[in-house]
A and B are shown apart, each in its own frame.
Chain A
Amino acid sequence: MSRTNVKQNLDARRVTQELFTLTYGAFVAQILNDYEHVDEVNKQLDKIGYNIGVRLIDDFLARNPNVGRCHDLRETADVLAKQGFKTYLGISPSITNWSPAGDEFSLLLDGNPLTEFVELPEGQGQKLSYNQMICGAIRGALEMVQLEVECRFVQDQLKGDNATELRVKFLKKLEDALPVGED
């Protein structure tokens, strides 16, 4: 690749999907080495995702000045699936399985770029929630816009399920801290 080419790629602020996928894989593999229990690995991935999410939301808002405060969870789900996932993972999951109360929904991921070359290790490794970082990132990002949610994978193609389904449950709306002496 010529030098100008490299520069052009940098300007577009893009890396190839393969590099991204392999980096994430190497990263998960390293954490698997570092911790003894898979449960602990899942927890760490979630925590890392959370720390990414609380920062990523500001980047997201900076890129999308037209996104304002959402009025209900359906709007939030829409922005999350069509703009959030699109911006950072290049996919647009479909939104399904709304709970009757409208406080819980699923995102069906078709073609997850993170799992392109992945096979879960035998034994304990089968319990690994490889994409857990996504859950953490969603939780972190929504917390910054005053929405407390719970986020988990209920189906995972890596574990032999038919689809990869991510469940998001609304817990509560966080309130702004009031200045002292105000009500």
Chain B
Amino acid sequence: MVVYNLYIFNRNGQCLFYREWLRRRPGTMTQEEEFKLMNGFMHSIKSFVQRLSPQDLKDGFVSFKTNCYKLNYYETATGLKFVLNTDNNVGNIRDILHQLYSTIFVNYIVKNPSCSATDIINTEQEIFIEKLDEFISNLSIFAQTNKA
């Protein structure tokens, strides 16, 4: 199983952070456009899912699958949005995304006085990126294909 890439958006829809571990095909648009599109799409699918639901939703939109990848979504009460693309053999990884938020993002961004939790995370935040890579590569869903 494979982990492709990760987007983190803040409450205002700004992309705070992007990282890819495996992406064989380059995007067809600029990165900025891609972030905008992703955020807009997440917003739309969230409200779509809510409106069509026959009963009250607990978590709302969680993930979708295509024939070659799965998009996993996690949103905190503070409006941070985590989007993790994996291959589609991955099950429900809500807990993993919460862990990513609580042990990596909170510890190395929120608790770091030199960076603001609402601004773009620049490449100087080496420790965050290092811990994130470590976290992702230790996941059971991150296997051979990624490392090859």
Chain A residues within CB distance 8 Å of chain B: 54-55, 57-59, 61-63, 65, 67-69, 144-146, 176-182
Contacts and interface: CB of A to CB of B under 8 A. Distances in A.
B117 A54 contact: yes
Interface in B64-92: 76-80
Number of contact residues on B: which range applies?
20 to 34
Given A59-B111, A177-B13, A179-B36, A144 B78 contact: yes
B39 to A, nearest CB: 6
Contacts of B40: 179-182
Contacts of A62: 101-103, 106
Interface of B: 11-13, 36, 39-40, 43-44, 76-80, 98, 101-103, 105-106, 110-111, 117
A146 B79 contact: yes
B98 A65 contact: yes
18 contacts: A57-B78, A58-B78, A58-B80, A58-B105, A58-B106, A59-B111, A61-B76, A61-B101, A61-B102, A62-B103, A67-B77, A145-B78, A177-B12, A178-B43, A179-B13, A179-B39, A179-B43, A180-B40
Residue among B78, B79, B105, B106 facing the most chain A CB atoms (10 A cut-off) = B78
B32 to A, nearest CB: 12
A63 B102 contact: yes
B124 to A, nearest CB: 19
B77 A176 contact: no
Contacts of A61: 76-78, 101-102
A59 B101 CA distance: 10
A62 B78 CA distance: 11
Contacts of B78: 57-58, 61, 144-145
Interface of A, secondary structure class, is loop
A58 B13 contact: no
Contacts of B101: 58, 61-62
Contacts of A65: 98, 102
B77 A68 contact: yes
Interface centre among A54, A62, A145 (most CB of B within 10 A): A62
B94 to A, nearest CB: 10
Contacts of A180: 36, 40
Given A182-B43, A182-B44, A59 B110 contact: yes
A20 B78 CA distance: 28
Contacts of B110: 55, 58-59
B14 to A, nearest CB: 9
A55 B78 CA distance: 10
B77 A55 contact: no
B21 to A, nearest CB: 23
Given A63-B102, A144-B78, A145-B78, A58 B117 contact: yes
Nearest to A144: B78
A57 B39 CA distance: 23
Nearest to B94: A65
A67 B12 CA distance: 22
A146 B11 CA distance: 10
Given A62-B101, A146-B79, A181-B40, 20 more contacts: A55-B117, A57-B77, A58-B76, A58-B78, A58-B80, A58-B105, A58-B110, A61-B77, A61-B101, A63-B102, A65-B98, A65-B102, A144-B79, A145-B77, A176-B11, A179-B13, A179-B43, A180-B36, A180-B40, A182-B40
